[in-house]
A and B are shown apart, each in its own frame.
Chain A
Amino acid sequence: MILRLAFRNIVANGWRSITNMLVLSVVLIVIVWMQAMYFSWIRLAETQQIDWEYAKGMLRVRSYDANDPFSWEDSHAPLSAQMQGAVQQGELMPVLLSPASIYPQGRLMSAMLKGIPHDQNLVKLPAKILNPQGRDMIPVLMGTVMARSTRLSKGDVFSIRVKDINGSFNAVDAIVEDVIEIPAVTADIGSIWMDLATLREVKAMEDETTYLVMADAGLKSLEQGEFKHIDKNEYFADLYQMLKNERFQQALLYGLLLLLAMLAVFDTQALAVFRRRREIGTLAALGFTRGKISLLFTVEGALYMLFAGGLSAVLGFPLFWYFAKVGFKLPDSYDEFGIQGFSEPIRFVYPMGEILVIFALILLLTIWVSWIPTRQISRMNPVDALRGKVN
């Protein structure tokens, strides 16, 4: 009975109801869009990094500090016999990192040389082309961002100067074997990929490794000595920190949007309680308790939100569909910012669980905001209400 009356009142409220629902649905659409954007971005960034660099896990030398370039030169260690066995069985893939100076077209630039076995198949990097067999120069591979910043392209030759284990500088010539799209930014920006054995030879570091990529998460039991298991939280720490900062801004925006929407609902409900005093008195005369009358107004508020949910699904569908199919792409220049996950279009995946929780929270908030003005009803004398008098 209350639901039917509430529904009829909403319909009878005409444009005021429609405006309320529109405001609420726009807020919902924006929130769902942003929620999907963050969710899909993180998912894509994780997938890209996992596909191109992290695989099922990583064992990295303890001395390596991603934020301290001075630590990189010495961040390597020999593998234990057990690790070497796992490498031979293809369960671990060793990678050696070495800071270097490069001279593309005579300019001096810094780069990170990354040695990877040319026969690996744990990550997506097409390392086969790095096989130096029968080549005069060292074949290297780089991502498009690195190629742009060094102004190198496929087939270009440049010199590399690198310090070996004894502190002597060696210079070698390298040829850009290919420039490819590398979605994982840490595998692109500043990185030059070459064959592991070649890099070890140039650096006179036989069997030295900076990190090992795992083929199976269970291999973390091999963590020993110089090598430490890097779990997902540690590996993605920067990404998660960035997400945390974004979440704060996101929460502020959500709060602001919700405040506007709730003001609209509150305003409508407060006006309704004032405008419909005679109806409140009639309901009291017919036997409605004050609680039931308050419930009627509160249900009307909740219905606004439920209808707004439906309206959002209808109005937002083309937008949601577009971003799920085509995706969200930042302009190419954003590549160089090194933001993970933005190197290819983010195709939205909608986290239904999160969206439903958010919807339920907004529904509760709407119910609360709709209920606040009805407190006036509990103070209203039915006789005054029937006369249309304000207490």
Chain B
Amino acid sequence: MKEVIATIKDMSKAFPTGPSQFWALKHINLQFVRGEFSGFVGPSGSGKTTLLNILGSLDGPTEGEVEVLGANVHQLSQKAASKLRSEHIGFIFQTYNLLPVYNVYENVEFPLLLLKMDSAKRDKMVKEAIAWVGLSDKIKSRPAQLSGGQCQRVAIARAMVKKPELVLADEPTANLDTENSHHILDTMARLNQELGTTFIFSTHDEKVIKYLKRVIRLVDGEVASDDLASGI
């Protein structure tokens, strides 16, 4: 039996909208096991990113419980949440969110600096991560000198370099063309296979959906379907 790494129990999330509240997520119940390659799928405003942010401890639920890697997200202090993210969770964003003042090497190295790793080990891991995404020849390039696909590959390397247990990817192919999207998805699928890292996506891109082994459809903040068999 596979190890459960995240559990969502009757979780709802509301945002204040003037005097009333808008319920972005309603009574969500989900469980994720180690090594999954799954994703939240749905139209804009269905709550995909909100759910991803809560799993990444960037936000908390309004009601219910969310447990990620043994930590109750609602009860985590700001510092403990930061520690959880820096040690165990990798993020990939739609807009890459690379640090523009750093080159490829330094961007990928950044999460390891937070872990206070010795420099020799760090260097080996950074070069290895850059090799995974095929950018060893661009090690000194700044984000501004790279294409969108290359930037997203750097973002993947940055998310993967510390070998996290969970990677959360928010619309990772939204700004990429078909060729680059497939390249990115192939890379992530390979890393999922090779390293056993759990990937959770938020997407409405059909190309991504085809890669997912588990598709959770969200409609108006509720789980409309949880299809373990729809992926490739």
Contacts and interface: CB of A to CB of B under 8 A. Distances in A.
A11 interface: yes
Contacts of A287: 82-83, 85-87, 111, 114
Contact of B91 (A9, A279, A285, A288): A285
Interface in A267-297: 278-279, 281-282, 284-290
Contacts of B82: 284, 287-289
Interface string B185-201: 00000000000000000
A288 B114 contact: yes
Contacts of A386: 58, 93, 97
Given A8-B102, A381-B59, A1 B86 contact: no
Interface in B62-114: 78-79, 82-83, 85-87, 91, 93, 95, 97, 99-102, 110-111, 113-114
Contacts of A281: 97
A201 B183 CA distance: 113
Nearest to B58: A382
A1 B114 CA distance: 8
Interface in B110-151: 110-111, 113-114
Q: What is the predominant secondary structure among interface residues of chain B facing chain A?
A: helix
A8 B93 contact: no
B88 to A, nearest CB: 10
A286 B53 contact: no
B34 to A, nearest CB: 21
B35 interface: no
A376 to B, nearest CB: 15
A286 B93 contact: no
Contacts of B221: none
Interface string A222-249: 0000000000000000000000000000
B56 interface: yes
Interface in B12-42: none
A314 interface: no
Given A289-B79, A290-B78, A282 B58 contact: no
B210 to A, nearest CB: 27
Interface in A351-391: 381-383, 386
Interface string A1-44: 10001001101100000000000000000000000000000000
Contacts of B101: 5, 8-9, 11-12
B111 A286 contact: yes
A281 B56 CA distance: 13
Interface in A166-205: none
Contacts of A288: 82, 86, 114
Contacts of B53: 383
A258 to B, nearest CB: 29
A286 B59 CA distance: 14
B58 A1 contact: no
Contact of B59 (A11, A278, A279, A383): A383
A383 B49 CA distance: 10
Nearest to B111: A286
A282 B97 contact: yes
Contacts of B111: 286-287
Contacts of B93: 282, 285, 386
A172 to B, nearest CB: 85
Given A282-B93, A285-B58, A1 B99 contact: no
Given A383-B59, A386-B93, A286 B110 contact: yes
Contact of A278 (B87, B91, B97, B114): B97
A9 B102 CA distance: 9
A285 to B, nearest CB: 4
A138 to B, nearest CB: 82
A229 to B, nearest CB: 66
A12 B114 CA distance: 22
Contact of A289 (B59, B78, B87): B78
A284 B58 contact: yes
A282 B97 CA distance: 6
B99 to A, nearest CB: 7
A282 B86 contact: no
Which of A287, A382, A383 gathers the greatest number of chain B CB atoms within 10 Å?
A287
Nearest to B109: A1
A386 B91 CA distance: 12
A286 B58 contact: no
18 contacts: A1-B113, A8-B101, A8-B102, A9-B101, A278-B97, A279-B99, A282-B93, A284-B82, A285-B58, A285-B91, A286-B114, A287-B85, A287-B111, A288-B114, A289-B78, A289-B79, A289-B82, A382-B58
Task: Give 5 nearest A-B pairs by CB, closest first.
Answer: A287-B86, A8-B101, A282-B97, A1-B113, A289-B82
Given A1-B110, A282-B93, A286-B91, 4 more contacts: A284-B82, A285-B91, A288-B86, A382-B58
